[in-house]
């Protein structure tokens, strides 16, 4: 057989150049990936140190009888058994769900309503928009003391109005001191304090909606409710869903507002604090409570995302 000889016009360089270009492309992507990992490595270390490690250490402590002086004693799942058989725990779970549901619903409805009003043109609208944000940006400790004075049974304005002037109640009593009425005050305080966040997020989305949709609806003779339900609501739905998820997470873990206002509302965060850092200071049970609270929150969010939002 004769030996194969390429045609004189055949150029080997034309076939080598694409292979070299592909190799250079892969090398460049690999270098960029390495550089990206180097950039996010400090953040990963910080997150690992401030979030992942405490979570893992909390899980570890939940299986021990934690001693402030001396060695911890491994007791398997006894902390979880003690917590789950404690009637106070289930009362705090019920209180937490009531608190989270009422505050999330209240802040959402009030925030959407105020955003719809603030989206209209009227004199001094900019000033009113700024004033609405004051409850949200005000320090918690200062507004809590103001509310405690407002509902004080002796010198409070609320009791003076309802008992002395309007005669709604026959005698003065401590609204914050009673667990049944204290949760109502805590819910109202949370709604008043946090609805501006919902209002601000919804207002920003409302201003991004194309006005031609509403103009076309006006031509078709649509009512205000029809325009809200068929135009506004679909536009703000995903923003509203994200706000509700954030509100559920924040309110489920809410501690400072509830505890500073009244210690008679035993939501899970307050119950965990009393269990772990007061009295006998059962920190092992406190760790197990924190983990149970985390699992309840994750389960509730998954249910909301899958069944309600259907994401």
Q: What is the CATH number of the domain that holds 94?
A: 1.10.3720.10
Give a yes or no: residue 68 inside a domain: no
- The total domain count for the chain is 2
Q: In terms of domains, do 51 and 180 share one? A: no
Q: In terms of domains, do 54 and 106 share one? A: no
Give a yes or no: residue 56 inside a domain: yes
Structural domain harbouring 33:
19-61
Give a yes or no: residue 69 inside a domain: no
CA dist 130 and 116 (Å) reads 15
Q: In terms of domains, do 245 and 111 share one? A: yes
Q: At what angle do helices 125-132 and 179-206 cross, to 10 degrees?
A: 140
Q: What is the pLDDT of residue 304?
A: 81
Q: In terms of domains, do 26 and 93 share one? A: no
Q: Are 300 and 104 in contact (CB under 8 A)?
A: no
Q: What is the pLDDT of residue 243?
A: 93
Q: In terms of domains, do 49 and 164 share one? A: no
Give a yes or no: residue 197 inside a domain: yes
User: How confident is residue 20, by pLDDT bands cut at 50, 70 and 90?
Assistant: low
Q: In terms of domains, do 267 and 134 share one? A: yes
Instruction: Note the pLDDT tens digit of each residue in 69-91.
Output: 888 999 989 999 999 999 999 99
Task: Give yes or no for residue 47 having a pLDDT over 70.
Answer: yes
Give a yes or no: residue 10 inside a domain: no
Cα torsion at 218, 220, 226, 228 (round to 10°)? Answer: -40
Q: What is the pLDDT of residue 30?
A: 84
Structural domain ending residue among the three candidates 44, 61, 78: 61
Instruction: Note the pLDDT tens digit of each residue in 267-276.
Output: 999 999 999 9
Task: Give yes or no for residue 177 having a pLDDT over 60.
Answer: yes
Q: In terms of domains, do 114 and 257 share one? A: yes
Q: In terms of domains, do 53 and 127 share one? A: no
Percentages (nearest 5) of helix, strand, coil residues in the chain: 75, 0, 25
Give a yes or no: residue 45 inside a domain: yes
Give a yes or no: residue 67 inside a domain: no
Nearest to 93 by CA among 248, 257, 279, 271: 271
Give a yes or no: residue 291 inside a domain: yes
The pTM of this model reads 0.84
H/E run at residue 39: helix 13-47
Q: In terms of domains, do 152 and 54 share one? A: no
CA dist 200 and 116 (Å) reads 11
């Amino acid at each position: 057989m004769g030996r194969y000889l390429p045609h004189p016009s055949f150029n080997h360089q034309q076939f080598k150049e694409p292979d070299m270009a592909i190799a250079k492309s892969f090398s460049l992507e690999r270098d960029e990936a390495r550089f990206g990992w180097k950039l996010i490595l400090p953040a990963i270390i910080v997150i690992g140190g401030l979030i992942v490690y405490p979570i893992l250490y909390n899980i570890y402590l939940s299986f021990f009888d934690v001693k402030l002086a001396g060695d911890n004693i491994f007791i398997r799942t006894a902390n979880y058994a003690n917590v789950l058989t404690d009637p106070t725990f289930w009362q705090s779970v019920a209180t937490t769900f009531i608190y989270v549901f009422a505050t999330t619903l209240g802040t959402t409805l009030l925030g959407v309503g105020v955003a719809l009003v603030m989206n209209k043109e009227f004199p001094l609208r900019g000033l009113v928009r700024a004033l609405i944000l004051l409850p949200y940006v005000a320090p918690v400790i200062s507004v809590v003391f103001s509310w405690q004075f407002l509902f004080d049974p002796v010198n409070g304005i609320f009791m003076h109005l309802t008992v002395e002037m309007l005669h709604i109640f026959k005698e003065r009593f401590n609204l914050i001191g009673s667990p049944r009425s204290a949760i109502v005050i805590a819910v109202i305080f949370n709604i008043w304090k946090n609805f501006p966040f919902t209002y601000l997020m919804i207002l920003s989305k409302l201003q991004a909606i194309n006005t031609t949709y509403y103009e076309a609806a006006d031509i078709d003779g649509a009512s205000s409710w029809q325009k809200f339900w068929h135009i506004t609501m679909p536009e703000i739905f995903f923003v509203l869903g994200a706000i509700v998820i954030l509100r559920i997470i924040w309110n489920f873990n809410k501690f400072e507002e509830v505890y500073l206002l009244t210690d008679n509302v035993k939501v899970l965060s307050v119950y965990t604090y009393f269990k772990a850092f007061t009295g006998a200071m059962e920190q092992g049970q406190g760790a197990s409570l924190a983990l149970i609270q985390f699992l309840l929150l994750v389960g509730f969010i998954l249910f909301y995302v899958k069944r309600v939002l259907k994401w």
